[in-house]
Every structure is written in C-alpha cells, then in structure tokens.
Structure 1
C-alpha cells in the first residue's frame, strides 16, 4: 500500500465537543467523535458518537445507564462515594462491578460541503435495550440493497456486542438487534454481496490467549452470521517495525471496491494505546485473501487536538466517503476520523 497517502485537509477539527448540545438536562457532553459517514442525496451525513455524563457532584461518582423499571428500559443515574484511591475517570470498578462513567449515543450531523456541519440536538439512536445499557458506540454505515445498514457497538454489563439498525431516510430507523454477541466490535459490512453472500469484517475480543484481530464472516440473510475466519492481526508482537499495531487492531469503515480489490481502512494501536490508521487490500472475489497491507501507518496523532483529549493520542476512523462522479470532487475519498475521543478531523486518501 506504499502508493497511498492520507493527508489532513484541515489542520483543525471540523467538529469539537463544544459544538454539541447535551441531550439530557443536567448532563454535559464529554466527547463528540468517531463518526460513521455516508452521502445521502446532496448531503454528507455523519453519525457521531456523543458521550454524555451527569454534571459532577463533589465526592460522588455518577453512573448513567439503562436499567429496567417495571419491565421498561429506563435511563437512571447511580451514585457511589468517590474512591479514595486514584481511578480511571472513564471506567470504574465499584463493589465488584465495572461501570462506564459516561453514556454514548449516535447523533446525526449534516453538511453540503463535507466540512461545515449542522448537528442535530436530539439523538438519532439512543440506548433503548438492556444489551445497550452502557451505551451505543462507533457506528459504521453501509448502503446496501437500497437501504443504509448501521452497525454499532452495543455495550452492557456483559461486554460489547454488535447491534444493527437500518434506515432509508435517516428520519425513521428500524432497530434489528444484536447480530454478534459479546465480546465483539468493529463491524464493517461490505456494500455488495460477494458470491451470493453478505460479508462483514469484525473483531472478536480475546483474553489470555491471542491478540485482537480482524475476522471475516458471511451470511445468507444479513442477520445470521457464520463461516468466521481469521483475516489478519497486528504484526507488532513479532516485529518491532510494526509496534504501531502491536497492541490492538480493528476494521474501520465499510470496504471500498477498487480496480485492485477491496480497500480496507483499519486502526492499529501500540502498547501505550496510541492509535494510527492504515490500509489493507483484499481480493475482490475472495476477500479472505489479503493482497497487501501498509508497512507504516498513514496517519498518526501529531497535532495537539489529536494528542490531548478525553482519550489522548488517538486517530480512529469508522467513516469515509467516495465523492460521486457527478461531483466537483469526483472520485476523491474523504476520511473522517475521531481525534483523542474529543473531536473530528478530516483527511483525504489519494494515490501517488
């Protein structure tokens, strides 16, 4: 993939946390980042991950989550005394149970030029099921069979799984439910059937044995997935030159079909949890065949707003668009990326 370059179009974030209003009275927005992206009509649409939390109370940890009340999933706030020992402000273990200190949902943003966005005040998808009780995160959008398939990470006390929703107009949305159980995330659907099958990339999470890696799966109906196969993993464990992807790896947006094969954007993280972006190329008729991969990251956290934020040293993409042939930007690929879990940057992918 040496012929590809990924260059920032703008050296400032195009969306910042301060641009987004909280959904809930008494909450504050901690981050607006990691957007899915698509072209819908004459607009570019982003589905932002918006993380919100109750405003702090001194000496107290406030945990927003969905709990069942009279059989109905309902937003609640748990209150616990603040630990006296240092703790992670994002994830806390209290009384033997792990909680997130914020609740994420998906928020729609719209733009005519792909740079200047108007952000809806209300969520597009808000946690509404017990398997989403800790939040909805990091969506991907794939246009397939005349509708937009939205995959997202659904987080609960049982771990992160993969949810699916579909829409045709981005006004109404049908929630299909969980298509891959915990622990799994980073699902990207291919935008067409291959050899009569729906296909997707996903990332099972591992514990004592193995490292996070990208897998391939297929389906006859787009709902029930099987024939899971390892595709590729990080090379940093055996080669220091690839330390940038030695800690974590996962698929980004939906693959794009090119003359050479399926182009895949993916993220890698090193042992310090610094994230970078890279590319892979898969065979167009058999995407289980990896034809090529980046030997070095195409984008790393370099600017202050990419290095400092809610989660520092992160560039993470789960949304890109390819401008249509009738556009003045015909054929250009714009990559939207989350920066430090606090804002959104924009880069352009091009060939030398």
Structure 2
C-alpha cells in the first residue's frame, strides 16, 4: 500500500451562526503557496452554505471569513448549497455544488473570475421522478450492472413510486469538473447511483430533458467507474477534481460500504486516460485511506472520510476531506508513489 500521513483536523465549527453545527467537505484551489478553501458550513437545522478560509502552505490557516461567501438563493437550494468543488478552466473558476431543497438533490454550478463574485449557472443534472428514471434506466438492462436497476425496482415492487410520483426526484450529486476541456467540451463527473459517469457539453442550454432521456437510456455508455470490491459495496462518487499528470488523470474519489452498523466512507484512487477518461489505466484494490481516528469515526455521521479537494507541495499530494460530516481534515501521500502504484495495477 501507499503510505498516507494524516495531519489531523484543520477546521472545526465555531459559534458563528452559519457554521455552528459543523464544517466539512471543502472545495480547494491552489495558487502557488496559497490554498483557497471553500468549505460546507452547516447551521442549526441542517442548513448549509459555503464558508471560506485561506491557508499559507498546506496546513496553516491564516484567514477565515466570519460570514458565508456563497449561500442559498432559490427554492431548489432551500436547505442549502453543499459540498463545493473548485476547478479553473482557462481563465474561469467553476464551483460545482449540490443544490438541496430538503428532499431533492441536484448538481449545480457557478462561475467566477476572481473567486469572490460567483454567477450561478443553475442545475445541470437531470430532473426525473423515480418512476420516470426507472423507465429510462431499464433500457440498459442487458448492458449495465443490476445495482443500477435494483434500487428502482424495489421502489416499484412496494408501490412506493405511486406515493412519491411528482414529489421526489432522483438524486444526482458529486458534480466535479475536469480542469481543462476534452475534445473542445467541458467534461464533468457526476453520480447517478451507484457509479460515476461522465458528461460532456459546451453550453448548459444543451442539457434539455430530451438530452437526459437519451443519456439515461444509454447510461452504460457514460460510466467511468463502477463500484468494485467490498469497500465500494454500496456506491462510489467523484471526490476531488481530477489532476492532470503525464500518466493520466489522477482521480481521488469516495466509496461507501454498507455494514450492519451503517455506511463506512473511504477515500479511493484511480488513474484515467487523458484523452478518454472512461479508459481506466489503474485503480487501487483497497482504499487509499479509511476512517481510523476518533474524529473520523465519531461525528454528525460516523465513519466518514470524504475527499473533495487537493493541493500539491513538492512531491506531496495533500487531500482535504470531511471527517464524520463534522470537521475538515487533511492527509498527504507522495504523488509519485501513488502514480507508480496505479500504473502497475
């Protein structure tokens, strides 16, 4: 295995009203020795906004905003904006996040030129009821793993779809932009349970209902990674924005294992082809790291390490993650050792 160093907790909740329940799952952007962190801040009632802090080097907090820098602005975000990821493409920053209204969760994004003022681009993931999605996903029956269909089949079997019809939509979360266009298009990882898929588009206006009907009807064509192994027994999702290396896209993602005591979330790693990210060059057979510390095992949600951003200092890849849905922590690994391990898989 690749040696991972856990550096401990970076941020915890404060008495400030917008973050008095927890801080976790930070979006990260590195500018030389400066690390900009846009973390999920939760206040009483499980309402989320995005807080900001600045680090000098990988571990030293030198500035922290006392107010949220991005927050709910419409009904689809009523319960909050969650789990931001930050990517810079050409001269524009892309902040992807989950829009959560208390029932439904959709992938959304906003853009910025300065990391201070963000322009919302809106929801870009599909908006299908469970019944609509079930009809579409079944068209993949002979080309996709049963896990994609079983979940929705259970809803149908117990007639839950009839009760939820028109009220609850299929969740699509973990929206993560690649840091450069691929074949002239924006490339985005997202998660329709339980695998990671890739989406290409030039303009969000392309992502119509008809587009998504065709996409979901052929979901097997868009899958990048399927759950594999015991630690991925429930589902997986994109974690940090992919890192371009000479060997391929380094992807740090999360997985969830269902156990008798609930889910356990892990940090995982894979290496994807630069031109065709659906081509897997290498993938760790075991988690990169797991919840082992008390502050990862105990919190608002127990047994969670949830990676959402990275920074590179010398040969060390620092991975920033949410610990037990309560605090921000960081771990590091030698990036060359990790790439070597992945290339030999």
**Quick check: 1:198–1:218 contact (8 Å CA) kept in 2?**
yes
Higher share in strand = 1
Are 1:145 and 2:138 an aligned pair? no
Query: Helix, strand or coil: the match of 2:60?
Result: coil
Partner of residue 247, structure 1 = 234
Gaps of 5+ in 1: 54-100, 206-211, 236-241, 323-328
Cα distance in 1 for residues equivalent to 2:197 and 2:205: 17
Report the alpha carbon displacement of residue 130 of structure 1 after superposing the two structures with TM. Answer: 0.8
Cα deviation, 1:150-179, whole Å, max 9, x if unaligned, reads: 000001145100111111222221111111
Cα distance in 1 for residues equivalent to 2:246 and 2:4: 19
TM-score relative to the length of structure 2: 0.76
Partner of residue 183, structure 2 = 195
Report the alpha carbon displacement of residue 181 of structure 1 after superposing the two structures with TM. Answer: 3.6
Cα distance in 2 for residues equivalent to 1:132 and 1:295: 37
Partner of residue 116, structure 1 = 60
**Quick check: 1:199–1:216 contact (8 Å CA) kept in 2?**
yes
**Quick check: 1:7–1:299 contact (8 Å CA) kept in 2?**
no
Partner of residue 278, structure 2 = 288
| Number of aligned residue pairs | 278
Gaps of 5+ in 2: 128-170, 338-345
Q: CA RMSD in A?
A: 1.8
Cα distance in 1 for residues equivalent to 2:9 and 2:97: 23
Are 1:159 and 2:152 an aligned pair? no
Report the alpha carbon displacement of residue 194 of structure 1 after superposing the two structures with TM. Answer: 1.4
Cα distance in 2 for residues equivalent to 1:179 and 1:5: 38
Partner of residue 10, structure 2 = 14
TM-score relative to the length of structure 1: 0.75
Cα distance in 2 for residues equivalent to 1:138 and 1:283: 26
Q: Mapping of 1:216-227 within 5 angstroms?
A: 216-221=198-203, 224-225=206-207
**Quick check: 2:108–2:175 contact (8 Å CA) kept in 1?**
no
**1:179 pairs with 103, 107, 124, which one?**
124
Report the alpha carbon displacement of residue 223 of structure 1 after superposing the two structures with TM. Answer: 6.1
Query: Helix, strand or coil: the match of 1:39?
Result: strand
Higher share in helix = 2
Cα distance in 1 for residues equivalent to 2:77 and 2:43: 15
Cα distance in 1 for residues equivalent to 2:96 and 2:116: 17
**2:310 pairs with 305, 320, 343, which one?**
320
**Quick check: 1:22–1:121 contact (8 Å CA) kept in 2?**
no
Cα distance in 2 for residues equivalent to 1:248 and 1:7: 25
**2:251 pairs with 254, 260, 264, which one?**
264
Cα distance in 2 for residues equivalent to 1:223 and 1:330: 41
Partner of residue 336, structure 1 = 320
Cα distance in 2 for residues equivalent to 1:266 and 1:21: 31
Query: Helix, strand or coil: the match of 2:231?
Result: helix
Partner of residue 231, structure 1 = 224
**Quick check: 2:225–2:278 contact (8 Å CA) kept in 1?**
no
